[in-house]
Amino acid sequence: MEDNHYKKSPREQLEIALGEQLNALISASHALNVKAAARFDSSLQPAAFHIIRWLYSYGPTSAAVLAESTAMDRSSVSRLVKQLESLGYVKKDASPDDGRRILLSLTEVGKQKTISALKEKESVFYERISNWNNDDLQEFINMLRSFNGL
């Protein structure tokens, strides 16, 4: 079987190389997320830590928004939230805007455990950029922001 890289234009080769590097980034990030999830609480599924991380990053929200934002079905979110709540990591409160609406948020214990669990992941990425100058780092941030459509 022939290697089709040789028949590709220079632009197509660059796009393939970009795809390979993005896949490497996603894979490395996923592996670090799994490690962070185990560090947070090894009895939980990584999906539960995904909920924890979302709440840590974006704050209180409804179960419906959480399900949509994490690409999980509502029944999975509900089951995982119940588990997280029973362990003291997540709490439910009435919305200040609409007392009938329930908002999910991290408890103080949940926040502190999240910070601790994320330190390892952050240290790996911070180490990779530690020798970059500020201009290169800013350019990388700008390019990622543009790539992400933000």
The per-residue pLDDT for range 6-65, each reduced to its tens digit, is: 688 999 999 999 999 999 999 998 998 999 999 999 999 999 999 999 999 999 999 999
C-alpha distances in Å from residue 14, one per residue of 9, 11, 23, 48, 124: 9, 5, 14, 37, 26
Say what the pTM is.
Answer: 0.76
Please give the pLDDT value at position 146: 94
> How many Å is the Cα radius of gyration of the chain?
20
**Mean pLDDT, rounded, for 75-89:** 97
Max CA-CA distance within the chain?
A: 64
Residue owning tokens 């790539």? 147
Distance CA 119, CA 139 (A): 24
Residue 139 main-chain phi, psi, to 5 deg: -65, -45
Q: Tell me which architecture the domain covering 8-147 has in CATH.
A: Orthogonal Bundle (1.10)
* Residue spans per domain, the chain: 8-147
* Predicted confidence (pLDDT) per residue in 126-136, tens digit: 999 999 999 99
